[in-house]
Amino acid sequence: LQETMEDIDKNGDGFIDLEEYIGDMYSHDGDTDEPEWVKTEREQFVEFRDKNRDGRMDKEETKDWILPSDYDHAEAEARHLVYESDQNKDGKLTKEEIVEKYDLFVGSQATDFGEALVRHDE
């Protein structure tokens, strides 16, 4: 949390305002029109990130943003692995599909960085 605050809080006031929040993800680089996703992020900040509506995120609001309590990391990683590997989109992984995306599985925390693949006996 402290590292995130230090990285994004450019003016050093201990808060992340809307422009600092957007500036962490997007640089205008002379563009007059923002992409649609940037507009969506602005809305996200106003509607959900800045819970007390004071125009900036304090440490607690920033914590809720980067470490949401209702986010299941293991489930998200498992869904990611299935989404990326399930070539025939049947919702199940075959041995062949896993082997085809072996690098993805070996690099995943969900497989203990490949250790689970070694211990598994089919």
- pLDDT tens by residue, 68-105: 887 787 888 888 889 999 999 999 999 999 999 888 87
Query: Does pTM surpass 0.75?
Result: no
Listed residue (13, 12, 7, 1) closest to 66, CA to CA: 1
CATH 1.10.238.10 domain residues, the chain: 1-66
Which of 4-8, 33-37, 107-111 is least confident? 107-111
Longest dimension (CA), the chain: 57
- CATH code assigned to 1-66: 1.10.238.10
Q: What is the pLDDT of residues 10-54, one digit of tens each?
A: 999 999 999 999 999 998 776 678 889 999 999 999 999 999 999
- Looking at per-residue confidence, does 8 or 34 come out higher? 8
User: Do the beta carbons of residue 26 and residue 35 sit within 8 Å?
Assistant: yes
